[in-house]
Amino acid sequence: MTIKTRGFRRKTRYKLKQEDVLKPSLFIKEFNIGDRVAIDIQSACKKHPHPKFQGRVGKVIGKRGKAYIIEVKDMETKKIVIARPEHLKIIKSQATKNK
């Protein structure tokens, strides 16, 4: 009998598809505290958030080094996700309201 894998990237065959070459602009994005962002994992970069948070929307509540601290609602509880800027996308509706 085979042993089931229990790795960090298990069950992510279709969630984390390899994309084209990443642009440098992904790595230097800036977000303000209070911005709403979506978690979009770039599989070409290591050190990404847990795959269960793929596609979740959260609020930026702080910065830790180069990464941002995002508060995400998971069912009833609020969880904190630490992700680097290449794995985050700003929500357009929020960006237009700020300008």
For residue 17, what pLDDT is reported?
A: 67
Report the relative pairing of strands 57-64 and 67-74 from DSSP bridges: antiparallel
Per-residue pLDDT tens over the stretch 50-93:
888 989 999 999 999 999 999 999 989 999 999 999 999 999 87
Q: How many C-beta atoms surround the C-beta of residue 39 within 10 A?
A: 22
Burial of 70 (0-12, 13-18, 19+ CB in 10 A): buried
The verdict on residue 85 lying in a domain is yes
The verdict on residue 78 lying in a domain is yes
For residue 71, what pLDDT is reported?
A: 97
For residue 83, what pLDDT is reported?
A: 95
Burial of 28 (0-12, 13-18, 19+ CB in 10 A): exposed
The verdict on residue 69 lying in a domain is yes
Spatial contact of 60 and 31, defined as CB atoms under 8 Å apart: yes
Containing domain of residue 40, as a range? 24-98
Tell whether the model's pLDDT for residue 45 goes beyond 60: yes
The verdict on residue 81 lying in a domain is yes
Per-residue pLDDT tens over the stretch 6-34:
777 776 666 666 666 777 887 888 999 99
Q: Residue 43 — very low, low, confident or very high, per pLDDT cuts 50/70/90?
A: confident
Q: How many domains does the chain have?
A: 1
Better-scored residue on pLDDT, 94 or 22: 22
